Amino acid sequence: MGLEILSDLSEILPYPIPDFPLYAGIGKLANQNQYTVGCHFHPDFEFNLVLEGVMDYFINGENVHLGTGDGIFVNSQRLHYNYSRELTPCKYLVITVSPSLLPKELPAVEQLMASKTTPECSDYVLLKKDSNKAELSLYPKILHEIQTGNPNVFLTLSYMLALCGAVVPMIQSDAHGDIHDAKWLSLYDMTKYIHTHYQSNVTLSDIAAAGKVCRSRCCQIFTRYMGQSPIDYLIFYRLKKSQELLLNTELTEENKDRARHLLKEFGLYEYRAAHPSALSGGQKQRLAIACAIFSGRRILILDEPTSGLDGQNMRLIAEKLKSEARRGRTILVITHDRELIESCCDNLVEIVACPNILLHGYFPSSSA
């Protein structure tokens, strides 16, 4: 099941069987950008079992480590993601089930569900391979039924009810003294802003303003609920979108040669086997520009492309942009870098500090 995360971090779960909201499948962190599944939430219960390797789960600000054979239950509407701290492969079994599948017409079940899914309740239940064997043994049974393509619905439901019946009562009803709703609303607004404006020159002040909080509070909320700073999340999201762009480009032998050539031109070829998170900020910046060029789009709009780059790499970018322009591409650069402007721009539109003053004209650069 592909992960479809909306701008407010909610996830859409397309269940394979109509009117039977239950999914079971195998996931691999090696297939995810930076070995990290995107941060998200959903009303469904989520069950995970580590089959090979190790991984960490970040749930509402708390980090949980899982070894091979360990499992975890994530409560409804909890912000969470799983990742590999050491950037090592991990294979896991994931099950999601909508609470609507449970027989709420029974008053006892309805009362239990209502008391175990509130914000004050436990965010998760850790299931250890040595002490929760009975619960964990149900995971592969559910997976087997779903993978047949034509499962025995009654048998699958009985396994799922047995699993929920064992785990849901383990949820503590008063685990939190405070409710996260206000912080969540700010976080959703801030992540939505990043998802919408990631191609622009986004600052910490911009992100904080979107959530109607100060910069310090913005950093606190991101660190608590996302496990990283707002700027680190912005970089992560930009790399994720760059990866999607590359994956949507047909990798013919010609394109593979182009990719190798671009990596060499941008001084990144020696890092071709490195994980993106192992790259420096400047290397990530160059990689993002290389991805934009590789896309083959006739028009490129680059916002502060040399931000954070030293003089040598700025000149490298300038030469590459001139080269692409000579090939017929239209390149619009938004920048405060005067040296970049003088190095590669043909025409200049300058907005100066005085209100309503716009200067436009031919700029005699070295590319002329």
- pLDDT value at position 359? 53
| 258 vs 75: which has the higher pLDDT | 75
143 and 189 part of one domain? no
Q: What is the pLDDT of residues 249-306, one digit of tens each?
A: 666 778 778 888 888 888 888 877 665 656 777 888 888 888 888 877 888 888 888 8
pLDDT in the model for residue 16: 77
Token look-up 């790499």 returns 313
Higher pLDDT, 310 or 49: 49
Please tell me whether residues 165 and 189 are part of one structural domain: no
Does the pLDDT value for residue 139 go beyond 90? yes
Task: Indicate whether 240 belongs to any domain.
Answer: no
Q: Same domain for 333 and 285?
A: yes
In a shared domain, residues 152 and 194: no
**72-81, 82-91, 169-178, 334-343: least confidently modelled range:** 169-178
- What does the alpha-carbon distance between residue 249 and residue 347 come to, in Å, rounded to a whole number? 31
Residue 176's pLDDT is 54
Residue, of 2 and 48, whose pLDDT is higher? 48
What mean pLDDT comes out for the span 174-202?
75
Instruction: Say yes or no: 230 and 273 in one domain.
Output: no
Boundary (domain end) residue, out of 170, 200, 221: 170
Domain extent at residue 202: 181-235
Question: Which long-range contacts (C-beta less than 8 Å, at least 24 apart) are formed by 339-345?
Answer: 339/311, 339/314, 340/305, 340/306, 340/314, 341/365, 342/366, 343/314, 343/315, 343/318, 343/319, 343/367, 344/318, 344/319
pLDDT at residue 367 greater than cutoff 50: no
> Which residues, in sequence order, are bridge partners of residue 10?
41
User: What is residue 135's predicted lDDT score, i.e. its pLDDT?
Assistant: 94
Query: Are 207 and 333 within one domain?
Result: no
Are 212 and 119 in the same domain? no
pLDDT value at residue 182: 66
pLDDT category of residue 4 using cuts at 50, 70 and 90: low
Say whether pTM exceeds 0.75. Answer: no
366 has a pLDDT exceeding 50: no
Helix (H) or strand (E) holding 304, with range, is: none
Least reliable range by pLDDT among 58-67, 80-89, 234-243, 258-267: 234-243
Indicate whether 132 and 187 sit together in one domain. Answer: no
Q: Residues 278, 200: one domain?
A: no
Looking at residue 105, what is its pLDDT? 64
Q: Tell me, what's the pLDDT at 90?
A: 93
Residue 83 sits in a domain whose CATH number is 2.60.120.280
- What pLDDT, on a 0 to 100 scale, did the predictor assign at position 368? 36
Contact yes or no for 186/221 (Cβ under 8 A): yes
Percentage of the chain modeled with pLDDT above 90: 24
Whether 137 and 15 share a structural domain? yes
Phi, psi of 161 (to 5 degrees): -65, -40
Q: 191: domain CATH number? A: 1.10.10
Residues 91 and 229 in one domain: no
Q: Do 193 and 141 sit in the same domain of this protein?
A: no
Domain boundary among 189, 213, 235: 235
Helices (H), the chain: 107-116, 133-136, 138-147, 153-167, 181-197, 204-210, 215-226, 230-247, 253-265, 281-294, 311-326, 338-344
Give the pLDDT of residue 64.
92
Cα 165 from Cα 161, distance rounded (Å): 6
- What confidence score (pLDDT) does residue 352 get? 67
Residue 258: partners with Cβ closer than 8 Å, 6 or more residues away:
294
Predicted confidence (pLDDT) at residue 247 exceeds the cutoff of 60: no
Count: domains in the chain: 3
